[in-house]
Structure 1
Amino acid sequence: MVDIKHIQTEVDASFLYGVLAKNEEDANVAEVFKQMSEIELSHAVAFLKKNKLGESQLPPPSLRARILNKIGKFFGYDYILGVLLDTEKSLASATMKARGGVSTSISDTAHVAILKNILNNHPKVSGSNLARFEKRHRSVGGNALRAAVLGGNDGLVSNFSLVMGIAGASSGQKEVLLTGCAGLLAGALSMALGEWISVKSSQELYENQMDLEMEEIENNPEGEEKELALIYQAKGIPADQAIVMAKEIMKDKEKAHEVLIKEELGIDPEDIKGSAMEAALSSFFMFAVGAVLPVIPFFFMGGTPAVLLSTLLSALGLFLIGASITLFTGKSVLYSGFRQVLFGLAAAAVTFGIGKLIGVSILG
């Protein structure tokens, strides 16, 4: 029996790499993406042939792939690259199993490695382009949109549960509305502050370590030169060559500092350039968007109708969040959506029940 899901995976990857190729300004890197698109398509064709099917039976790009293309127009096409790179390992694992050993011209390893190999071996792709690709790989990764989805989920689930707990304990519209708004603001501010502290403290830690490394270079250049040589030796470079490399690098203090913070401390300067305030505002906004959904009905009504409408709006929001998560996982939209709804409703039901018990106890 043919597993259409795995064929679809290959077709979608081919389509998305094709999108990247069409929208890449650098002709050489565009060629890399074009080759990746052809590789993915060859996987799909090979799998069809294994199952005695023709190329005419290749499915079109899925709705998920088309949505990712649309998102790329707003968030930048580097976002699509990020999603592809983030999911390649799981995709490779799934398609290897599905192909059952079908031989293709490219080894079925993680495609991040394939991309790097193509970039390294492509005759027209320079080292600067490879460095640019690496920078983009680190900086995109789908992290912004993933954080937005998770932030919205946190806001919706936590405030929905809070609102249901108060609604269970009290039938008053004003009480529920006040609690919901307070929960929204408290949660959003807490998320924003936590994100700001996280980003800022990481930046300050890295900056402190980088300053200390520069002091060591200035005060003990011989010791730092030996350390650098040992790092290269640990990578398998012969001792004599490692010593020569370290000596050459240490002639330029700035270059030596750049190399040592990467090799010795494992710090990339690009990692500390993010804005802590931007991260905080993003967290605040996305949490608030999720948290406001269960509160909306209580602006206009109270009692059971408000509870039912709040549950309906929250369930819809939970389903959309679950469906959005499939952009990263590639799983079934219905499965992920209804799973999110089930978990969210279960949490709200527990707090509603507890609220009911507390309310009866107080009134009794």
Structure 2
Amino acid sequence: MTEAPTPDDAARPAPYPLPDPATIGEEHHDVTGGWLRPAVFGASDGLVSNFALIMGMAGGTSDPTPVIVAGVAGLAAGAFSMAVGEYTSVASQAELARAEVSRERRQILRDDAQEQAELASMFVAKGVDEDVAREVAEQIHSDPDNAVRVHAREEFGIDVTDLPSPMLAAVSSFLSFALGALIPLLPLMLGITSLGPTVAASLVALFGTGALVTALTDRPWWFGGLRQLVLGSAAAALTFGIGGLVGGITD
């Protein structure tokens, strides 16, 4: 005979169906790595550094040839440097992550009970009831591979299935830096010897890149644009002044 539901059971809402884990977070931007970070920083660095370099050369000489040569050299050197730096950085980070994951795996295989208690303690610290936390930790540790993944995520914030790609970071940095560095250089390469178009294109691009970055954050677009514009313009103006001083001394 089936028992009639109590008033508390009748008032309790039906549990919300669990979503597919693969869809969780799909509406959010990738903020941990991948191509976005090196691409954004690469474009910004390329624009600011080559704009400042070109302005510094222009402050020291009226001949456009060395200015163009310096701009091209700055684009190439900066793009390769960014690519090498990003590749080395991301590869080292991934190697360190894999080493830590291997260490965690050895600890779990050596003393599963202690690691299980450690995981339950972390869940308790997050507000989970101790009995529930111990039960969840026990279920997770029923699969050693799953236990390693959960410990890696909880202890040092690493998703062992989604480590950033060094090659992707390097290529993104190279292309974005080259694109940013090309903007102040392009008018000169087209034969325009006046600095006006170079400055105008660079200022517009500075504001645009700053505004574009804030589209992925909680800052208003005009704030990011103005911030990038002011900082990039200051760098170019200071370098122009330094170039003028050095050019005056060497004349």
Q: Assess, with a 3 A threshold, how the Cα gap between structure 1 residues 199 and 360 changes in structure 2: closer, same or farther.
A: same
Unaligned runs of 5+ in 2: 1-12
Q: How far has the Cα of 1:128 moved from its partner?
A: 2.4
1:16-31, aligned counterparts within 5 Å? none
Cα distance in 1 for partners of 2:162, 2:20 equals: 19
Matched residue, 1:310: 198
Cα distance in 1 for partners of 2:53, 2:62 equals: 14
1:179 to 43, 51, 70: 70
Cα distance in 1 for partners of 2:117, 2:27 equals: 32
Secondary structure of residue in 2 paired with 1:264: helix
Deviations 1:109-129 (A, max 9, x none): xxxxxxxxxxxx996642424
Aligned CA-pair RMSD: 3.1
Q: Assess, with a 3 A threshold, how the Cα gap between structure 1 residues 288 and 270 changes in structure 2: closer, same or farther.
A: same
Cα distance in 2 for partners of 1:237, 1:339 equals: 43
Q: Assess, with a 3 A threshold, how the Cα gap between structure 1 residues 315 and 238 changes in structure 2: closer, same or farther.
A: closer
Cα distance in 1 for partners of 2:37, 2:166 equals: 17
Matched residue, 2:220: 331
Unaligned runs of 5+ in 1: 1-120
1:254 to 123, 127, 145: 145
Matched residue, 2:20: 128
Deviations 1:14-52 (A, max 9, x none): xxxxxxxxxxxxxxxxxxxxxxxxxxxxxxxxxxxxxxx
Deviations 1:95-151 (A, max 9, x none): xxxxxxxxxxxxxxxxxxxxxxxxxx996642424x521366363799855653443
1:1-364, aligned counterparts within 5 Å? 125-129=17-21, 132-134=23-25, 137=28, 139=30, 144=35, 148-272=39-163, 274-301=164-191, 305-328=193-216, 329=218, 331=220, 333=222, 337=225, 340-363=228-251
TM-score, length-scaled by structure 1: 0.56
Q: How many residue pairs get matched?
A: 238
Contact 1:149 1:324 in 2 (8 A): no
Deviations 1:191-244 (A, max 9, x none): 222222222122111111111111112222232233233334434445444444
Contact 2:49 2:181 in 1 (8 A): yes
Contact 1:173 1:301 in 2 (8 A): no
Cα distance in 2 for partners of 1:284, 1:138 equals: 22
Cα distance in 1 for partners of 2:33, 2:144 equals: 36
- Range with greater deviation from structure 2 (343-352 or 175-184): 343-352
Deviations 1:295-318 (A, max 9, x none): 22332447xx33223222222322
Secondary structure of residue in 2 paired with 1:157: helix
Amino acid at match of 1:292: L
Q: Which has the higher contact order (CA 8 A, sep 6+)?
A: 2
Cα distance in 2 for partners of 1:258, 1:140 equals: 20
Q: How far has the Cα of 1:320 moved from its partner?
A: 2.5
Cα distance in 2 for partners of 1:122, 1:196 equals: 50
Give me the identity figure in percent.
41
Cα distance in 1 for partners of 2:121, 2:225 equals: 52
TM-score, length-scaled by structure 2: 0.78
Amino acid at match of 2:189: F
Secondary structure of residue in 1 paired with 2:234: helix
Matched residue, 1:48: none
Amino acid at match of 2:122: I
Q: How far has the Cα of 1:255 moved from its partner?
A: 2.7
Contact 2:42 2:177 in 1 (8 A): yes
